Structure 1
Amino acid sequence: MRLRVVLEPSEEGGYTIYVPSLPGCISEGDTKEEALENIREAIDLYLETVEDDLTFSETAEQIEIAV
């Protein structure tokens, strides 16, 4: 899955990073690399909680697509 993230320098130093398509999915890091690593973890956790809340009927079919 590919998601667009926004990486901004923080006034206090380091970087803030967020995912516009996932409201509230935000992280930070001291370096760009650390911020990117942290947002990957935040995305995994965000999507895990969304997936846990889904319920499907017995006839439902799950299909993965690339966007």
Structure 2
Amino acid sequence: MTHKTNRQIFALPILLGVSTVAGLGAGLIGDGVWDVGAGLLLALPLAVTGRYWVRQPATQSRQTAAPKVASIAR
């Protein structure tokens, strides 16, 4: 298992939170282009969630596999 810094752990959640707040703010500020920008910013967390929900990381499948037990010859 590799050690990750706090920046590596919290970078994506903070980015998604900022994107959500910016999208909500853009939706309140104006119409037209602002609404399109708000929709794109609010769709970003959904797209990232969908990507990680569909794709299973290779490291997860290795960790859940049963460990191999060495047989002892008698």
Q: Does the pair score TM above 0.5? A: no
* Larger Cα-atom Rg: 2
Category of TM-score, reference length = shorter chain: 0.3 to 0.5
Tell me the TM-score normalized by structure 1: 0.35
Structure with more of its chain in strand, by fraction: 1
Tell me the TM-score normalized by structure 2: 0.32
Structure with more of its chain in helix, by fraction: 2
